[in-house]
Structure formats: C-alpha cells, structure tokens
Chain A
C-alpha cells in the first residue's frame, strides 16, 4: 500500500505488545512489558511459577483486561478489535483438558470455525473440509471419529491445536502445551511448534517450564524474572547460569552435548 505522498507505508505484519501492565484488580504482577511476535518465528515464554506468565498470556489475548499498555496487530489496536476479527488472526491453545460432553473430535475441531461462521448459522461442508484437512496435516486424521473425552492427554492436546489451526490464524498462542505430555510427545510438540512457524509462517508463542525447549525451537525467548523484570533474546543470550539462578533460584549448568551430528546446548540443573 502506498501513502498519498508515494512513500511506502506498508504495515509489517507483527503483533506488538508495548508497555504492558498486567495483573488482577489493582495488583500489578508484571509491568512495562514489551515483545514483538513476528510471523514465521517461535517465541518461548519462560519463568518461574507466579511471575505472571498466564496473566500476561490472557491479557495479550484480551481474555482479561489489561491494566496498561497496548497490543497492536498488524498496526491495528488489538484490544479494541471485535472478538471475531481477533480470532481470525490469533488462536489460543489451552492446556489439554476434559470437556463436559463427549463430543466427537471432528465436532471439537469444527468449533474452531466459530469466527468464520455467522452467529445464527452453522458450519457448512466447506468448514468440515477444513477440519479434515487440519486433522490430516497434523497426522491425527484417524482421530476424527473418536470421542474427545476418551483420548489420551497427548491426543487431546493435538486436537486442541487442530481446533486452533481450524481458525486459520496468523498467530498461535499455546499455554504450556507440553505440561501434560510424556517425554516423547514433548519433543514432538516442540518440533511441531517449529514447523508451524517455519513451514506455515505462523507467529507461535508458547509458555513452557522446560528451558531446553527454547534451545530446541531456535526461536526467541522471554525469561520473566521475579519483581516485574524480564529478559528478551535468543536462547544463548538469556539462558545463562546467572539468569537461571536469578529466575529459579537454583544452580543450572549450560552444557554442550555431542549428539554425533553436532552439538546441542542443554540446561542441566545441579542438585
């Protein structure tokens, strides 16, 4: 798009959080927080329990009121956007949970089409086609006819990711997606996050309790420290012995591990 004077005024696609203050009521948990989420990359949000990761997450997503600051989505004020428009750009993956009713997986994923289906209308054949496509892409097409409440935690987490992708968003927020998963599924999930960013061009944000996920996904990291401080940068920049001690109060060694095909960095807690 060109401005009247011919100068380029193209909006760079980006979700920017500026000077955000989040908390409950008058209690501010985290203040003056800034982050940019760029399509095609992964942002890992790390930090000890109680520093406000979840609160920050929900505030950015507009699920609870922000106490100050702004969120802009491709140049627009995201906090004033109708939920429907916001949901077409930003999807949220909650932690795997139990649903109150025994929906088929297909119907759970179809709910992700809500922002594309009129208020008084119901999903059509095209919507269900998108549902099947998303399930196939994630390699869980065979779950479509299964009952959601009878799936394992890992399968339920994948279904919730499928539901978010059915929204056809540009940004994907995942709240501790690895917390209920076994060791193998955790690694698969981090790989999936990376693929969604690099192959599908999504801006992926995930919270995690495992700092190694940041090394693995090769993205940027945000390490939230107590007392409203945070660090922003690549894995090598923020995952240092000193920072980890400050964040978690324990001694952590950062080591290079020879995997045979190269060196991988990893955090090793020292007891």
Chain B
C-alpha cells in the first residue's frame, strides 16, 4: 500500500465513522415519539451526570431500552452483511456477488418459516433460521466437493448454491402457500422481507455481538490474503497461499455472519452487494482497507435504512427500503465507476 493509498483509506474510514456516529444520533431521535437532537443530547448528558427529571427518565428508557438496542442491531447486521459480501466477492473473483450466493438466506428463511408454520415461538424461529442457514452452506460445500471429487472448484460451488437456494425457496413457497393467511402469513411475509422490530432484548443483542466477533475477527485477520485469492486459486497457491484453508476460513466466517444476521432480522438484500462496491470506489480494492471500511459503511448504511423505515407512517420492511435506496445508488455507482471492474 503506498502512502497516498493508505492515507486515502484512512480518510475514507474517518468519514465513514463520522457518518456512522451522525446517523446513530439521528436514529436515536426518530420514531413514533420523535425527539429533536437537543433533547437526545440532554438525555444523554443527564444520564451521564445523573440529573434527570421524570420526563427525562421516560425518554431515557425509550432511548436505552428500545432505540439503542435497535441501532446496535442495525449496525451489527449491516457490518456483518457487508463484510461477508466483500469477502465472497474476493474469493469468487466477482464484484457482483451477494453474501447469500451459497444459499444462506433461503436456507435460513426455510428454517424460520418452518418454525412460524408450526408455531414454535420466536426463539426457536431464530435458532432454526440460524441452523438452517449454516446447514445449507454445509450441504453446498459437501455437494460441490463430491461433484468436484475433492477439488470442488468455485463454479461448481456457485452452481450448487444456486440449486440449493432454489430448492429451499420452493419449500418456503410451499409453506407460505399452506400457511394460515390470518395469523402466520403476515409474520412469514414480514420475516422474509426483513425487519428490526422483533428482537432487541439486550441479551439477544449481546449474543449477536459474540457471533459477530467470532465471524468478523478471523475475516479481518486473513483479509490481506483475499487479495491473493482474487487472482484465482492457481496463482494464489503458486504464491504460497494455502488456498483451501484460507477459503475455508472465509466461507465459514461469512456464512456465520450472514446466517446470524438473517436469523435476527430476516432477509435484507442489497447491503452486502452495494456497500463493498461503493467502498471499493472510494478507497480502492485492497482488502487491507476495503474490509474494515466496508464494515463501517455497512453499519452506517443499515442505520440510515432503519431511519427511513421508521420515519414512514407505516414501518416498512427493510428489504423494500434497501432496494429502493440501493438499486438507484447501484446504477449510479455503475455509471460513475470504472467499466473494467465488471
């Protein structure tokens, strides 16, 4: 990394952190009970100094028990999806890959829909979604290994992902079709389109945080190796990279991150695709700066999306908002970007 590239990476990182903090503060004030920023600050100040009146305490409990957990959830999910999207794009040598390329989202959806269909409760819904997400990728990897006779190539893996994804999506459709249209269907629909509304207890956020660390820390550690892998397996291997091991770590971590995100807030599209792409435009494709910047950018984007979703009179599903913001943004990125990146 040359000095100017490194500097540029740092400036972009600082700017993204500023956006993240600003959007988080903004998000604290937005909702059914709107709080202007000065009030948010005075409540935060009052909490820090221990001087709060009755009204302030009400606001405090709203901020810390409702909005803050939700903001943290949005940040974790945005960072997780963005990190796994960026990593998959590197190892699959394709900038147009989304984090659920290997079928995590549809697998997790099936798990959640099964739980909703049989009325197993919200914790089981999350657990089953998480387990099914991991299971899908496991099946994809096993299938591609046996098809490729031990040398599962990338194209076989992607094809297996597409197949498994379609299969699970068919089961989801089947259960949706059979579901009770008064009670289960809204919940299924809401789940498939993504929402931060349900799971925001501090314990569940803490659990997500742990999974997030387990997935993202190894990714951050091996991130420079992704540069080598993006030149293809043979070249990476000839340069001394243990391709199987590094790719294994990346697939495991990215699957863990995506699966956890989907199990917490349903399927949220676009984030893992466009954020790494935009960060690449801002600070270059070197994974040393790309991965951390994409995580911060993803977190900020998700908080902003949540603000939009909540600011609307009826809370919108996340995927609707990410698509409405993401699709035009992506077109603009393509329009501005270097054509040979595609």
- A interface list, Cβ under 8 A from B: 58, 61-63, 82-88, 90-92, 94, 98-104, 106-107, 110-112, 114-117, 119-123, 128, 144-145, 147, 149-150, 163, 167
Jot down 22 A-B pairs with beta carbons below 8 A, ordered by A: A83-B237, A83-B242, A84-B240, A87-B238, A87-B239, A87-B240, A91-B238, A92-B235, A94-B234, A99-B231, A101-B280, A102-B285, A103-B285, A104-B5, A110-B1, A111-B227, A114-B225, A119-B242, A122-B288, A128-B1, A163-B239, A167-B240
B293 smallest CB distance to A (angstroms): 14
Please indicate the chain A residues that have their CB under 8 angstroms from the CB of B240 in the complex.
83-88, 114-116, 167
Q: Which of B221, B223, B225, B239 is A112 in contact with, Cβ under 8 Å?
A: B239
Q: Which of A103, A106, A115, A122 is B224 in contact with, Cβ under 8 Å?
A: A122
B89 smallest CB distance to A (angstroms): 8
Please indicate the chain A residues that have their CB under 8 angstroms from the CB of B234 in the complex.
58, 63, 92, 94
Interface status of B47 (Cβ within 8 A of chain A):
no
Q: Which of B4, B228, B245, B338 is A149 in contact with, Cβ under 8 Å?
A: B338
How far is A101 from B340 in the complex, measured between Cα atoms in Å? 8
Please indicate the chain A residues that have their CB under 8 angstroms from the CB of B236 in the complex.
114
A83 smallest CB distance to B (angstroms): 5
What residue of chain A has the Cβ atom nearest to residue B245's Cβ?
A: A119
Contact B239 A167 (CB under 8 A): yes
* A-B interface contact total, Cβ < 8 Å: 109
Whether A107 touches B239, Cβ cut-off 8 Å, given contacts A100-B93, A119-B222, A119-B246, is no
Contact B225 A119 (CB under 8 A): yes
Contact B5 A102 (CB under 8 A): no
How far is A6 from B341 in the complex, measured between Cα atoms in Å? 61
A261 smallest CB distance to B (angstroms): 39
Please indicate the chain B residues that have their CB under 8 angstroms from the CB of A100 in the complex.
93-95, 230, 341
Q: Which of B221, B238, B286, B338 is A63 in contact with, Cβ under 8 Å?
A: B238
B280 smallest CB distance to A (angstroms): 7
What residue of chain B has the Cβ atom nearest to residue A107's Cβ?
A: B286
Interface status of B142 (Cβ within 8 A of chain A):
no
Known: A61-B238, A87-B239, A123-B224. 19 other contacts (CB 8 A): A58-B234, A86-B240, A91-B238, A94-B234, A99-B230, A101-B95, A103-B285, A103-B286, A104-B284, A107-B286, A111-B231, A114-B239, A115-B241, A121-B224, A122-B223, A122-B224, A145-B2, A149-B340, A149-B341
Contact B286 A150 (CB under 8 A): no
Please indicate the chain A residues that have their CB under 8 angstroms from the CB of B341 in the complex.
100-102, 149
B289 smallest CB distance to A (angstroms): 10
Please indicate the chain B residues that have their CB under 8 angstroms from the CB of A62 in the complex.
237
Contact digits for B93-120, partner A, Cβ 8 Å, 1 yes 0 no:
1110000000000000000000000000
Q: Which of B227, B235, B237, B338 is A107 in contact with, Cβ under 8 Å?
A: B227
